[in-house]
Structure 1
Amino acid sequence: MDPIPSRRYLVLLCQDRKQEAFRALKELTGGQVTSIATLAPDGELPRAQLTDQCAVVFDRIGVALLRCGEEKRRLLAMAAQESNPAILAIELERQVRAMARPKDIGIPVTPSNDPESLAAYLKGYRDAVNEIVDRALERQGPAAIVHPPSTPPDEASMSWGVHVTRSAVSTYNGRGVKLAVLDTGLDLTHPDFAARQIVSRSFVDGESVQDGNGHGTHCAGIAGGPARPSAGPRYGVAGEVELYIGKVLGDQGGGADGSVLEGINWAIEHGCHIISMSLGSSLESGQNYSKVFEEVARRALAAGTVIIAAAGNESRRPELIAPVSHPANCPSIFAVGAVDQALQTASFSCAGLVPDGGQVDIAGPGVQVLSSWPVPQRHNTLSGTSMATPFVAGIAALHAQSDPALRSRALLNILVQTARRLTQPSRDVGAGLVQAP
């Protein structure tokens, strides 16, 4: 018997040695190994009921979710480090959470027109042309695009985020592009989504896709809300994108790596071009990025899918600047920081402080952002890198629609190339503010 209680682990398998990996898992753990696709016609997995030494493999991304004790974990770790080419890595499963600022949850929409707020808003439209963003443009050919001065939005017709990202003037709407939002689900009864054909799935035990939290509905609204909502100003970017809603966080806003990876597996299987993840967990001192999530992100890119994730809200600027959170700190995951109406880095937004991974790639609107909310409230304003992330994901869908060649890394490259340069360092805002084509 194992000396300590069993825990859940992520095991990275070699995609070219799938059968060998299955055999190795069985031999090393002495337990049952099952493919997610064979569990049931719809592939549903009772994650909370994983028994000891039981592993479930997410075939498309080549990762197993395993429950075992320390003795078995050591055997797998030794196999990954030494002798078995089919087992590449093993990591403890982490808990993750929604990346909105908790104190903002549930605050009603209160648009402000006071002179002080308007002055701060207008101040944000100075166009300072920075030197070329060092890290972001090292991999780019074309020169940076300099955008002309902006004019204030008509707040009755569109949110400030839709305006400042130029989404309102784009000729694209995301039609024909598949975008997955992995979050707390969606209010499927919401009038702004009731007529949409939405593919959805819950990866949370005992909970349906119906959003009992609000965070997922808010994020989905930013990425794919309609150009003409049922009430109020426009808040969505890609109003005709094909939405895939994966519930990977429970109604309390929390979840675990296993559900997130299963959601990624599902999105790739459905051919999604973009995955938006406004979730994560903070890093401990000296903690590196996840080898499992990094390899999954690479495999997603090889399949034509980009993963865009929130950089995190742990900073308390100027006193404390925190590093980019897990899993956005993986080099192959596109990390999104947040700016406010003045186009200044949000006080909570994490920064690229770690040389090996952990960079911020781009920034999006993330302070007092209007979007959809479960009925009866219907709309709400929230703050967080959670809000900035679906702006980037939705605009990625517009770019993907504009040119079928813009897929995988080419899609991420165009986001960097067309970003609006800001005065802040790239560690805070990456290439700058995301811009619609």
Structure 2
Amino acid sequence: MINIPPTPATPQTTGRYLVALEDDDISAGVQAVENATGVSEFAHSGDFEDRAIAAEELASENSIMLDELGVMVLSLDQDQVRSLNTATVSEHLPLSMEPERVIYALPESDPFRRMLPAEPAAIRSLAAGKSINVSLDYLKGYRDAIELLIGHLSSEDAGFRRADEECPDINTPIEKITWGLQRTRVDTSTYTGAGIRVAVLDTGMDLEHPDFANRSVQSKSFIDGETAQDGNGHGTHCIGTACGGQGETSPRYGVASECEIYAGKVLSDAGAGSDGGILAGINWAIANGCSIISMSLGARVQPGQGFSRVYERVGKRSLRRGTLIIAAAGNDSWRDNDIIQPVSHPANCPSIMAIGALNEALQVAQFSNGGLNARGGQIDLIAPGVDIFSAWPMPERYYTISGTSMATPHVAGIAALFAQATGAKGSELWTELVQAAQRLPLPSRDVGSGLAQAFQ
């Protein structure tokens, strides 16, 4: 069973700091940090196997340098922070500094499991008819949970959609290929992502899953004390959609069925991590030649809040290196009640492609965040994200869940098809995806350029 804590309404920080240095003057930035803070010893990612910095280093108080990104992760006291801020302004230093945040796997839109167990006292009070003081988010979750439970009880199998349930305007029954792959025209594409490296940075992967027995899989954990084996489910599900195929008896559910898989565990089995671990995963993926990085994770952003300057530099550097980062927009909205929340961090960076979610009827999913904040924070594309069937850790093997987390790997897999077909990378690959999108009669705030479509 998936175990993801509700994403806090306000950003949480770890006490450490991220420092991004200018491309053209990395050495000057390193020297400036040393002069202002006294920090001179770094654990360099380039000194580790596969340029993947060890998880225990990330968990320590040691200073870290992610060489591919030009980003430092530093443990600084307040005097050091003030000194570096002062030097940055007075000496016009080529760097950006910000607190390191706590990042979560974006909770699926299934509050029956995610919300109810967290507040048993509230549930007992509701059952007893007592007046209680709970948040709007909780009440929303309780309502949706009951609707979800009714739906599960009316189905023959809670993990699968009924075999006779066909989607509007979808020609092939979903017992053979999922509705998401049909809506994105993956079913009619002759490309498979062969030769393309796709990194999925999440809760890891079930490395013994039988559907991936003959696939090229590289895995790495950036979580101290945990292997890359997925003890959560979220990561395996996302990898299944982006990079999987189908099992002996399942529908086809994966987009790029022959791509090379790079499974980076940047979130724990509890579904939480930090910016440092995620950036270390990006560093590893770029160093190992991944053309696409898929990230179904994030932290909430408030209306009017700007994007991370560190991640924006990372996004730009990745594009120049030929790597496209694709991230989930977030599931914080409640569109049934006209509540739309802004795109989450880090998907709100202009140089990271932000993905919203829609349902089978090509309507925006009620939970999908929108492009509300100026200068960044836009939705770039939308993809299937409601009732998505995909891989799950054994023994369940498959599961059906919802979220922009599920929409994002659809686009990542489609990007691999384009990369195989056209040779496009980085910004060029971004342009190919946007130009091929199916335009929808919906606000660009919610769907960006439209519904992602596979290369034909």
TM-score (norm 1): 0.87
> Using the alignment, how far apart are the partners of 1:335 and 1:413 within structure 2?
14
Q: Secondary structure at the match of 2:395?
A: coil
Contact 2:65/2:71 (CA < 8 Å) preserved in 1? yes
Kindly indicate whether residue 42 of structure 2 is the aligned counterpart of residue 34 of structure 1.
yes
**In structure 1, what is the equivalent of residue 161 of structure 2?**
111
Contact 2:304/2:373 (CA < 8 Å) preserved in 1? no
> Using the alignment, how far apart are the partners of 2:178 and 2:30 within structure 1?
50
CA deviation after TM superposition for structure 1 residue 91, in Å? 0.4
> Using the alignment, how far apart are the partners of 2:227 and 2:112 within structure 1?
24
Q: 1:366 aligns with which of 376, 385, 390?
A: 385
Structure 1 residues 74-128: Cα deviation after superposition (integer angstroms, max 9, x where no partner)? 2222233331534x111001111112425376984131367xx75xx31xx4xxx
> Using the alignment, how far apart are the partners of 2:112 and 2:239 within structure 1?
17
**In structure 1, what is the equivalent of residue 235 of structure 2?**
216
- Residue identity opposite 1:50 in structure 2: S
CA deviation after TM superposition for structure 1 residue 224, in Å? 0.5
> Using the alignment, how far apart are the partners of 1:73 and 1:416 within structure 2?
41
CA deviation after TM superposition for structure 1 residue 303, in Å? 0.3
> Using the alignment, how far apart are the partners of 2:14 and 2:429 within structure 1?
41
> Using the alignment, how far apart are the partners of 1:105 and 1:29 within structure 2?
46
Q: After superposition, where does 1:24-173 map in structure 2 within 5 Å?
A: 24-37=32-45, 40-41=48-49, 43-47=53-57, 49-51=59-61, 54-86=62-94, 88-101=95-108, 103=111, 108-112=158-162, 118=166, 121-122=167-168, 125=169, 151-173=170-192
Q: Secondary structure at the match of 2:355?
A: strand
Kindly indicate whether residue 371 of structure 2 is the aligned counterpart of residue 352 of structure 1.
yes
> Using the alignment, how far apart are the partners of 1:322 and 1:76 within structure 2?
34
Once the two structures are overlaid, the 10-residue window that deviates more, 354-363 or 95-104, is 95-104
Q: Secondary structure at the match of 1:259?
A: helix
CA deviation after TM superposition for structure 1 residue 326, in Å? 0.4
**In structure 1, what is the equivalent of residue 279 of structure 2?**
261
Q: After superposition, where does 1:418-433 map in structure 2 within 5 Å?
A: 418-433=436-451
> Using the alignment, how far apart are the partners of 1:18 and 1:281 within structure 2?
28
Kindly indicate whether residue 254 of structure 2 is the aligned counterpart of residue 236 of structure 1.
yes
Residues 113, 188 of structure 1: alpha-carbon distance in 2 compared, 3 angstrom cutoff: closer
Q: 1:248 aligns with which of 266, 276, 285?
A: 266
> Using the alignment, how far apart are the partners of 2:237 and 2:111 within structure 1?
15
Contact 2:19/2:71 (CA < 8 Å) preserved in 1? yes
CA deviation after TM superposition for structure 1 residue 285, in Å? 3.9
Q: Secondary structure at the match of 1:7?
A: strand
Contact 1:14/1:85 (CA < 8 Å) preserved in 2? no
Contact 1:25/1:33 (CA < 8 Å) preserved in 2? no
> Using the alignment, how far apart are the partners of 1:246 and 1:96 within structure 2?
15
Query: Unaligned stretches of 5+ in structure 1?
Result: 126-150
Residues 200, 49 of structure 1: alpha-carbon distance in 2 compared, 3 angstrom cutoff: closer
- Residue identity opposite 1:351 in structure 2: G
Contact 2:58/2:64 (CA < 8 Å) preserved in 1? no
Contact 1:13/1:62 (CA < 8 Å) preserved in 2? yes
- Residue identity opposite 2:88 in structure 1: A
Q: 1:294 aligns with which of 312, 319, 327?
A: 312
**In structure 1, what is the equivalent of residue 138 of structure 2?**
none
Contact 2:163/2:173 (CA < 8 Å) preserved in 1? no
More helix by share: 2
Kindly indicate whether residue 203 of structure 2 is the aligned counterpart of residue 184 of structure 1.
yes
Q: Secondary structure at the match of 1:93?
A: strand
Contact 1:10/1:90 (CA < 8 Å) preserved in 2? yes
Kindly indicate whether residue 413 of structure 2 is the aligned counterpart of residue 394 of structure 1.
yes
Once the two structures are overlaid, the 10-residue window that deviates more, 282-291 or 336-345, is 282-291
- Residue identity opposite 1:63 in structure 2: V
Count of aligned residue pairs for this structure pair: 397
- Residue identity opposite 1:95 in structure 2: V
CA deviation after TM superposition for structure 1 residue 366, in Å? 0.2
RMSD: 1.9
Percent of residue pairs identical: 47
> Using the alignment, how far apart are the partners of 2:241 and 2:306 within structure 1?
31
CA deviation after TM superposition for structure 1 residue 6, in Å? 8.8
TM-score (norm 2): 0.83
Contact 2:58/2:222 (CA < 8 Å) preserved in 1? no
Contact 2:233/2:392 (CA < 8 Å) preserved in 1? yes
